[in-house]
A and B are shown apart, each in its own frame.
Chain A
Amino acid sequence: MLTILFDGIAYGMLLFVLACGLSVTLGLMNFVNLAHGSFAMAGGYITLVLVNRAGLPFFAGLPIAFVATALIGALFERTLYVHVYSRSHLDQVLFTIGLVFMSVAAVDYVMGSQQVFIQIPSVLQGRFEIFGVGVGRYRLLIIVICGLLTVALQLILSSTRFGSRLRASVDDARVARGLGINVNAVFSLTFAFGSGLAGLGGALGAEILGLDPTFPLKYMVYFLIVVTVGGTSSITGPFAASLLIGLADVAGKYYVPKFGAFVIYTIMIIVLILRPQGLFARAAGK
């Protein structure tokens, strides 16, 4: 029981790291980015190449995955995404689905279509028991890393100058522009950072979620659920939503395996019916 709780929290934390970039970009630019999972996949495969083929240690691979994915994100944002911000949601959806299809086929071409695993150091394998609760070492690592990241994100958002600019831009981009905040620059930075986080999440999650070229399609729904359920106006909303989804998914698959996948879809639809703006969102400011 507690083990499920533990696994669920690890899973939820992972989802949060993967999805929080998406929630911020969505809230900031009202931009529907279905290709977010592609960045996560990129991070996963970068780590894979570094660790399995180049022989780098796992812990060195993670930060490189973050930086590399952030750079890729920034590049895409500056060259492609900027053209699509002012378009309709339909255009944005088409555009990002196109990117997903391209990334899936490209990774398939370069890396092959089979599922791959990143070699994790033996220190992190196996599980031990605390007070009768089975604790997977790797999952513990995920919780620690993601927990630290969450705290750091919250601190950045709440007490740095950039954080207050970002919050102002999310609340009302027009007024923020009027106050002299360069919303586009804030957005570029956030997009790159969010992509980097997704890449890190992809690298960390390869062990639990699995990594193959269809990753962006498989987990797109999860990211979107986190964002729609959590709302886009803060990071506490998506955080709570991630934990909820993670716990519900793990518990659902464990207790009622026959209805495993229904659980989260049903939660999503119920939440959307009752609270179309998301579970933890304030009334829309725009």
Chain B
Amino acid sequence: MASALVAEVARRLARRARWRPFEYAFWLAALASVFLLPGRHLILTEIAWLALFALSLDLILGYAGIISLGHAAFFGLGSYLAALLAKHGVINEPVLALVVSGVCAAVLGFATSFLVLRGSDLTRLMVTLGVALIMREIANQIPDITGGADGLQGVVVAPILGMFHFDIFGHVSYAYCLIVLFVLFLLARRVVYSPFGLSLRAVKGNALRASSIGISVNARLVAIYTFAAFYAGVAGALLAQTTAFASLDVFSFERSADLLLVLIIGGTGYLYGGLIGAVIFKLMQDWIANLTPQYWQFWIGLVLVLIVLVGRDRIGLWTGGVRALAERLTRRLAPGAAPVPVPPGEGR
């Protein structure tokens, strides 16, 4: 009896986690952009790390319901660490430096996650914002190490895996960012479709009820916050490595606020929101900045206001429509896909 239930749960989880045609199309398009749009690789690189950063916010906002105004803290830490590691030749290999930066950001995320557990939305806003501001102030106050307000210059990034040199057209950096994004996306996808991801959704829906069915709410929140901080750190490190520069700007409030906009444009809670949002945001920013170089922030603000006034649900409809269509296609094309085994533990 119990084993039948377990099998049923596993079957349902596997069905949720199945790859949809829309997803294949998305990643094929991303792959095609490497070969078809060589002249746009610089902006595509920016889109790739921004997408990873937004994915990181989606993990805590869309799946765990934590509003953060200070996600730039982890992004900035990763960015400075990657730049410092490369500058002083501590870890020359970019991929290894990327992982180290991400892990350090995760440590910061773990340490500050306990602050986020307490209090209301407003308290969380304040604490996350405060952490980012403190990080910025630290970076500002130790100019010997970070270069202070001038930024960290003279960073030379070694070739990736000792083979691929970064070029000024962004060909290598785009491929590099895209691969990192894809790998980390796969990992995030695995996590959110696991029983752990389900329990996060339960916590987001109603923390009290989640705890009464035996989910340890705080432990889950700490775990996902730390995990998301790792992603943000890696995104920051990608920025530092592809531009060979790090400045105080990486910690700025605007960065955290823009990130919220990116995620909201794409929609929260289905992983692709951050990626789609990053594409739209960067193209929009590029277009507006060409029209009015100095005042593009006004139009960004207007977009935010309009999105809220129109309603995020209604904005979300267009992605929802695409998803529903994709779902129907999946059902028609593949009526009975083989179930994927579910990892033991977690799903109590």
Contacts and interface: CB of A to CB of B under 8 A. Distances in A.
B123 A272 contact: yes
8 contacts: A84-B309, A89-B121, A101-B298, A103-B301, A228-B122, A265-B130, A268-B126, A272-B115
A140 to B, nearest CB: 31
B295 A108 contact: yes
A211 B139 CA distance: 25
A87 B254 CA distance: 23
Interface stretch (A127-135, A217-225, A233-241): A217-225
Given A102-B302, A261-B137, A272 B126 contact: yes
Interface in B240-288: 253-254, 257, 260-261, 264
Contacts of B312: 91
A272 B118 contact: yes
Contacts, number: 122
Contact of B301 (A80, A83, A98): A98
Interface string A80-120: 10011001011111110111111111101100000000000
Contacts of B134: 262, 265-266, 269
Interface residues of B, number: 42
Contact of B67 (A80, A83, A90, A261): A90
Contact of B304 (A89, A97, A108): A97
A276 interface: yes
A26 interface: yes
Contacts of B309: 80, 83-84, 95
Interface string B87-119: 000000000000000000000000000010011
A98 B67 contact: no
Given A105-B301, A265-B137, A94 B264 contact: yes
Interface of A: 26, 32, 80, 83-84, 87, 89-95, 97-106, 108-109, 217, 220-221, 224-225, 228, 258-259, 261-262, 265-266, 268-269, 272-273, 276-277
B120 to A, nearest CB: 7
A40 B17 CA distance: 50
B129 interface: yes
Given A262-B134, A265-B137, A95 B115 contact: no
Given A98-B306, A104-B298, 11 more contacts: A87-B308, A89-B121, A98-B308, A105-B295, A105-B298, A221-B130, A228-B126, A262-B137, A265-B130, A269-B115, A269-B127
Nearest to B295: A105
Contacts of B301: 97-105
Complex A-B, nearest 4 residue pairs according to Cβ-Cβ distance, in ascending order: A98-B304, A101-B301, A105-B298, A276-B119
B129 A224 contact: yes
B160 interface: no
A228 B130 CA distance: 12
Contact of B127 (A32, A97, A272): A272
A32 B54 CA distance: 23
Given A93-B67, A98-B305, A26 B298 contact: no
Contacts of A97: 257, 260, 301, 304
Contacts of B130: 221, 265, 268-269, 272
A87 B295 CA distance: 29
A92 to B, nearest CB: 8
Contacts of A268: 126, 130
B125 interface: yes
A108 B67 CA distance: 29
B298 A273 contact: no
B294 interface: yes
Nearest to B312: A91
Contacts of A276: 118-120, 123
B294 A94 contact: no
Question: Which of B126, B141, B264, B312 has the most A CB atoms < 10 Å from its CB?
Answer: B126
Contacts of A269: 115, 127, 130-131, 134
Contact of A90 (B61, B257, B300): B61
B261 to A, nearest CB: 7
Contact of B141 (A101, A228, A258, A265): A258
Question: Which of B300, B303, B304, B309 has the most A CB atoms < 10 Å from its CB?
Answer: B304
A265 B133 contact: yes
B69 to A, nearest CB: 7
Nearest to B305: A98
